[in-house]
Amino acid sequence: MDITRIVTLNMFTKIGQAMPQELGVYKFVRRVFEYQPEKTYDFALYQDEAGHLVLAKMWTGNIKNLDFYWLKNETEIYKALAQTVSKYKNINVSAPSYKGAFHTSNSFILLIDYLVEDRNLQDLSVDDFHSIQLYLHQVGRLIVGTRRVKSRTWWYFVLSGFVNMCVSIIRDPCYSVRYMRAYSALIKVLPQYCKESLVFTHRDIKRENIVMQQGCLYIIDFQLAVFTNKYVEVANTIIHCLEKKRASADFTRALMRRYLREGKESAVYKAFAYYAVLYDQAISRASTTEENRIFLNSIEQS
Ligand SMILES: Nc1ncnc2c1ncn2[C@@H]1O[C@H](COP(=O)(O)OP(=O)(O)OP(=O)(O)O)[C@@H](O)[C@H]1O
Ligand SMILES: [Mg+2]
C-alpha cells in the first residue's frame, strides 16, 4: 500500500516545514537543504532498517494549490516508471526508483531513491540531451497504457497560448506586436503538430534536474512530465537554457542551431519556442524576462 499513516510529527527546525519523524518503515535522518524562501518543497533524507537512504520531497499547504497537483503528477510518473524497470534498462540514462507516497490533510510526501554520490551535471551536451530524449520516448511507450500520465494535445496550446499572450501584452504592452506574432506562429504550425503522435515529455530538462551517478544520467523532477508533442521538449529546454546558470552558452547555441536554424521542422520548433517564451513572460519569471525579449528578437531574425 502506498499511503501509510504518518506516525509522529516533530519540529526539527524553527524554519521550513515540520518533517515527520517516521514514514512507514523509514526514519528521519536529516534535512537536505536549509529553508530557502524561493523553494516550493522541503527535502529530507530518511532511511530504512538496512540503512538504505531515500529522499523525501514534501509539499505542505492547501490541497487546491497547483504545486500540490504537480507533486502528485510527479508521484504518478515515478509509479509508472517503476513498472518499466524490468522491461527497459538503459545504462546511460535512468530515473531514481519510487519508494512510496504519504499524505495527511495538508501535506504530501514523495519518497524516491536517494542518489548518494549526488552531483548535478556541470553542463549538458547535445548528445546527453538526445540520450535523455531517447530514454523518455522508450519508457513512454511502456507507460502509455497505464493512463497515469496526463496528455497535452493541440487545444491546450491554443488556449494557454492565447491566455499567455494576453497576460504578456498586459505586462509588457510595448512588445504587443511581437507577442501576437509569436502566438500566430504557434497557431500556424498546429496542423503539422497534429500529425505527430504524442511522446513522453519531461518539459523541465536542465542541469539541476539531472544527477550524475557512476557515469549514468539520472533524470529527476518529473512534476511537469506529460504526453505531448516532441517539439515541446526542445523548446522548453532552450528556454531554460536562457538562464545563464542553467547551461553554457555553447549548449544553448548548439541546440538552437540544431533545432531552430536548420532542418525542415525548424518552423515548428521555433513556434513552440515562442510559446515557451509567452509562458515565461506570462508567469513573469523574473530572471528570464529580459533574456526572453532578446531571444524572441534572435529567433525572429533567424
Ligand atoms: N533522488 C535524488 N537524489 C539526490 N539528489 C536529489 C534527488 N532528487 C532531487 N535531488 C536534489 O534536489 C534538488 C531539487 O529536487 P527537484 O528538482 O526534485 O525539486 P524542485 O521541483 O526543483 O524543487 P523546487 O521547485 O522547490 O526548486 C535537485 O536539483 C537535486 O540536487
Ligand atoms: Mg528541480
- Local confidence pLDDT in tens for the 302 residues of the chain: 344 433 333 333 334 567 889 999 999 999 887 767 677 888 999 999 999 999 999 988 877 788 888 999 999 999 999 988 778 777 789 999 999 999 877 789 999 999 876 566 667 788 889 999 999 999 999 998 777 789 999 999 999 999 999 999 999 899 999 999 999 999 999 988 888 889 999 999 988 888 888 888 999 999 999 999 989 998 888 887 776 665 666 777 788 788 877 767 888 888 998 998 899 888 887 667 788 888 888 777 76
pLDDT of residue 226: 95
The answer to whether residues 144 and 197 touch, using CB atoms and an 8 Å cutoff, is no
Among the bound ligands, the one closest to the CA of 204: 2
Give 201's Cβ-side CA count (13 Å radius): 20
Task: Determine whether 108 is exposed, middle or buried from the number of CB atoms within 10 Å of its CB (0-12, 13-18, 19+).
Answer: buried
| Joined grid coordinates for residue 162 | 492565447
Among the bound ligands, the one closest to the CA of 74: 1
CA–centroid distance, residue 189 to ligand 2 (Å) = 30
Specify the ligand 1 atom closest to the Cα of 221: 18
pLDDT of residue 6: 39
Q: Within 10 A of 280 (CB to CB), how many other CB atoms are there? A: 24
With the most atoms of ligand 1 within 8 angstroms of its CB, the residue from 118, 121, 219, 243 to mutate is 118
With the most atoms of ligand 1 within 8 angstroms of its CB, the residue from 53, 205, 208 to mutate is 208
Give 33's Cβ-side CA count (13 Å radius): 14
Helix H segments across 46-125?
66-82
Among the bound ligands, the one closest to the CA of 33: 1
pLDDT of residue 121: 66
The answer to whether residues 129 and 87 touch, using CB atoms and an 8 Å cutoff, is no
Query: Which residue, 262, 73, 209, is CA-closest to 150?
Result: 73
Specify the ligand 1 atom closest to the Cα of 32: 12
* CA–CA separation, 144 and 213 (whole Å): 28
pLDDT of residue 247: 62
What fold characterizes domain 126-301?
Aminoglycoside 3'-phosphotransferase; Chain: A, domain 2 (3.90.1200)
First to last CA, the chain: 53
* CA–CA separation, 227 and 229 (whole Å): 7
Domain boundaries, the chain: 9-113, 126-301
Specify the ligand 1 atom closest to the Cα of 57: 18
With the most atoms of ligand 1 within 8 angstroms of its CB, the residue from 220, 222, 224, 245 to mutate is 220
pLDDT of residue 14: 32
Residues near ligand 1 (Cβ within 6 A): 39-41, 43, 55, 57, 96, 112-115, 118, 120, 208-209, 211, 220-221, 223
Give 233's Cβ-side CA count (13 Å radius): 21
pLDDT of residue 238: 82
pLDDT of residue 261: 75
pLDDT of residue 4: 43
pTM as predicted: 0.87
* CA–CA separation, 280 and 274 (whole Å): 10
Helix (H, G, I), strand (E, B) or coil at 10: strand
Strand partners, 47: 27, 53
| Joined grid coordinates for residue 265 | 521542422
Which residue's CA lies nearest to atom 7 of ligand 1? 114
For domain 9-113, the CATH architecture is 2-Layer Sandwich (3.30)
The residue ranges of DSSP E strands in 39-105, in sequence order, are 42-47, 53-60, 93-94, 98-103
pLDDT of residue 287: 66
pLDDT of residue 26: 96
Which residue's CA lies nearest to atom 25 of ligand 1? 40
Specify the ligand 1 atom closest to the Cα of 40: 26
With the most atoms of ligand 1 within 8 angstroms of its CB, the residue from 35, 43, 53 to mutate is 43
Place of cell 540531451: 129
* CA–CA separation, 162 and 152 (whole Å): 15
pLDDT of residue 35: 66
